[in-house]
Amino acid sequence: MDTDRTISARGVTKVYHTGDVTVNALDGVDFDLFRGEIVVLLGPSGSGKSTLLNIIGGLDAPSGGQVFFNGNELTQFDDRALTDYRRHHVGFVFQFYNLIPSLTARENVSLVTEIARKPMTPEDALALVGLEDRLDHFPSQLSGGEQQRVAIARAIAKRPAILLCDEPTGALTVVRASSCWRRWRQ
C-alpha cells in the first residue's frame, strides 16, 4: 500500500438498532487520507459524520468493512493495539468537547501529555489557542469558545499523526478558528 496513505476506508458500514428503528448511519464508505492532507467532511445533521470520525479514531467499531492506518488493518486491532493507536497517533476534538468538569484547563490537557511520547507542555498547547491566561480555570468558568479551545489544545498537545476534529470551530469566531489552525500547522 502507498506509504503516504495514512487512513483508508473500504466499504465501511454502521447500522444502529434502537427499539424498532434501524438507522444505516454509514452505508459503504470508501475513501483515502494522505499524509499532509487537510480534508473537510461536509454533510447535513444526522448524515454520519461523527459516526465516521469515531470509527477512524478507533473509538467505535464499524458493522462492516475495513479501516487501515498506515497499511495496518485497524478493524483487526485488539483492545491493546487500539488503545496504543488512540494514545499515540490520534488527536480528537470532540463535537461536545468532553472536558472533565472537575479539572482545570491545564489539568485537562495534562491528562493527555502525561501519557504521550513527545508532547508539548500543557502551557504551550494552551498558549497556541490563546488561553495562556486561563490555565487554572475550570470548564464551568470558561466561555463555550474557550472550552472548545481547551479541547483543541488537548488534541494537538501530543503532536498526533492524525488530528480528527468533529465540528471543532462551532463556538469560535472565524478569525479565532483560522488562527488556531494556522498555528497548529507551523
Ligand X SMILES: Nc1ncnc2c1ncn2[C@@H]1O[C@H](COP(=O)(O)OP(=O)(O)OP(=O)(O)O)[C@@H](O)[C@H]1O
Residue closer to ligand X (CB basis): 97 or 128? 97
Closest approach, Cβ 39 to ligand X, in A, equals: 15
CB atoms within 10 A of CB 97: 20
Rg (C-alpha) for the chain, rounded Å, is 17
* Binds 51: which of ligand X, Mg ion, none (CB < 5-8 Å by kind): ligand X
Cα(28)–Cα(30) distance, integer angstroms: 7
Residue closer to ligand X (CB basis): 50 or 110? 50
Closest approach, Cβ 48 to Mg ion, in A, equals: 8
Residue closer to ligand X (CB basis): 63 or 70? 63
Closest approach, Cβ 48 to ligand X, in A, equals: 4
Cα(124)–Cα(112) distance, integer angstroms: 14
- Burial, 70: exposed, middle or buried (Cβ in 10 Å; 0-12, 13-18, 19+)? middle
Closest approach, Cβ 51 to ligand X, in A, equals: 3
β-strand pairing of 90-93 with 162-165: parallel
Residues making contact with ligand X (CB under 6 A): 16, 18, 23, 25, 43, 45-51, 95
Residues making contact with Mg ion (CB under 5 A): 49-50, 95
Closest approach, Cβ 94 to ligand X, in A, equals: 11
3-state secondary structure of 27: strand
* Binds 46: which of ligand X, Mg ion, none (CB < 5-8 Å by kind): ligand X
Give the position of cell 467499531: 61
Residue nearest to Mg ion (CB): 50
Give the position of cell 492524525: 162
* Binds 140: which of ligand X, Mg ion, none (CB < 5-8 Å by kind): none
* Binds 16: which of Mg ion, ligand X, none (CB < 5-8 Å by kind): ligand X
Give the position of cell 464508505: 29
- Burial, 30: exposed, middle or buried (Cβ in 10 Å; 0-12, 13-18, 19+)? exposed
Residue closer to ligand X (CB basis): 11 or 46? 46
